[in-house]
Amino acid sequence: MDVEENRKITGRWDKVEEEQPPPSASIMATAVQKNGIKSLTNGNGLVHHQVQGLNGYEHLDVISDSDKGLVTEPAAVDTETVVVSGQCDPEPIVEEPEIDIVINNVVCSFSVRCHLNLREIALSGANVEYRKENGMVTMKLRRPYTTASIWSSGKITCTGATSEDAAKQAARRFARCLQKLGFNVRFNNYRVVNVLGTCSMPFSIRISSFSERHREADYEPELHPGVTYKLKSPRATLKIFSTGSVTVTAPSVADVQAAIEYIFPLVYEFRKERTKEEKEALAKKKLRLYGDVPAHCDDDDEEEAAEEGGGAASEVESWD
């Protein structure tokens, strides 16, 4: 009887163990729920909340309800604040305004170290003009488009080039032309005398306030519509107009660029937005310069162009 009762009791315990999951399985289920892992589905929308028995975890100790509060939970990860590498928006890049500096004229001079007969050059040379009242001969080239003023002493001044390299190339071509006419020419004492550059600021300028703030600025509206600003380092003279146009004369191209970089933050403080009429006049001027429209323009445009051109021409001087 004892053996049979023991078998019956043992069988009952086996049956109970088959029906109820081991304590370790409930621990894993609790851990799965604590970690925030979603329950698996069987494909028909139903959720398996009952966890099957796990083999190999029978040796784990059972945590009582009173001890569950001592178990630390893993920190929840905020998926919304995580920035995936390579998918974040780049920082906006502030583009600085670009200013195009146009070199309009490079003046150079050199000597041929011999006496020149101007009458013979005028009779035998090509593309020449003899100006007897001035005591010189002017000679022109097409490439590069330049003009040379030739004196009988052998000194020659070349104007019209748009770069320092083009100016030197033109000077050597003028010397070669004189050599072909039979003169004993030696190319000597070449140097760049003056460079004329212009640029247009992307805004208008309150030149009256600018001249009051800076003592270096000379503004006489009765004599000239622009402000004359002279720099000692770099050596340059600037003509600043209310439309935003700036004309620079300096002994080299590098000095022209340095002068523009120096004056930009100073005039930026006195900037103002262009009016609609000023924008239209500036557009017409640009089109006329590029040859897209006829040369005729409004009276205001002609007056402005004459003012800027006259101010630029008055500054073409030697930087000795």
Residues 151 and 247 in one domain: no
Which pTM does this prediction carry?
A: 0.59
Mean pLDDT of 192-201: 94
Q: Which helix (H) or strand (E) holds 6?
A: helix 2-19
Please indicate, yes or no, if residue 146 is contained in any of the structural domains.
Answer: yes
Please indicate, yes or no, if residue 185 is contained in any of the structural domains.
Answer: yes
Q: Of 47 and 235, which is predicted with more confidence?
A: 235
163-171: long-range contacts (C-beta < 8 A, 24 or more apart)? 163/103, 163/106, 163/253, 164/106, 164/108, 164/192, 164/195, 164/252, 164/253, 166/106, 167/106, 167/107, 167/108, 167/192, 168/108, 169/144, 170/141, 170/144, 170/146, 171/108, 171/110
Whole-number Å distance between alpha carbons of 25 and 48: 14
Please indicate, yes or no, if residue 92 is contained in any of the structural domains.
Answer: no
SS3 159: strand
Residues 126 and 222 in one domain: no
Of 137, 158, 193, the residue at which a domain comes to its end is 193
Residues 207 and 296 in one domain: yes
User: Tens of pLDDT along 280-302?
Assistant: 877 887 777 665 444 444 444 44
Question: What's the CATH number where 118 sits?
Answer: 3.30.310.10
Residues 121 and 223 in one domain: no
Please indicate, yes or no, if residue 130 is contained in any of the structural domains.
Answer: yes
Whole-angstrom CA distances from 155 to 93, 111, 175, 269, 285 are 53, 5, 11, 46, 37
Residues 244 and 267 in one domain: yes
pLDDT value for 195: 97
Of 150, 174, 193, the residue at which a domain comes to its end is 193
Of 193, 218, 238, the residue at which a domain comes to its end is 193
Residues 188 and 216 in one domain: no
Residues 175 and 124 in one domain: yes
Residues 188 and 219 in one domain: no
Residues 131 and 213 in one domain: no
User: Tens of pLDDT along 66-120?
Assistant: 555 555 555 554 544 444 444 555 555 545 567 889 999 999 999 999 999 999 9
Residues 174 and 258 in one domain: no
Domain count across the chain: 2
Residues 179 and 209 in one domain: no
Residue 51 scores a pLDDT above 90 = no
State the maximum Cα–Cα separation within the chain, in Å, rounded to a whole number: 153
User: Tens of pLDDT along 123-136?
Assistant: 999 999 999 899 99
Whole-number Å distance between alpha carbons of 221 and 214: 16
Please indicate, yes or no, if residue 26 is contained in any of the structural domains.
Answer: no
Please indicate, yes or no, if residue 232 is contained in any of the structural domains.
Answer: yes
pLDDT value for 252: 94
Verify cis geometry, omega within 30 degrees of 0, for the bond prior to 234: yes
User: Tens of pLDDT along 171-188?
Assistant: 999 999 999 999 999 999
Please indicate, yes or no, if residue 88 is contained in any of the structural domains.
Answer: no
Residues 119 and 160 in one domain: yes
Structural domain for 286, as ranges:
201-320
Please indicate, yes or no, if residue 48 is contained in any of the structural domains.
Answer: no
Question: pLDDT > 90: what percent of the chain?
Answer: 48
Across 8-22, 38-52, 255-269, the highest mean pLDDT is recorded for 255-269
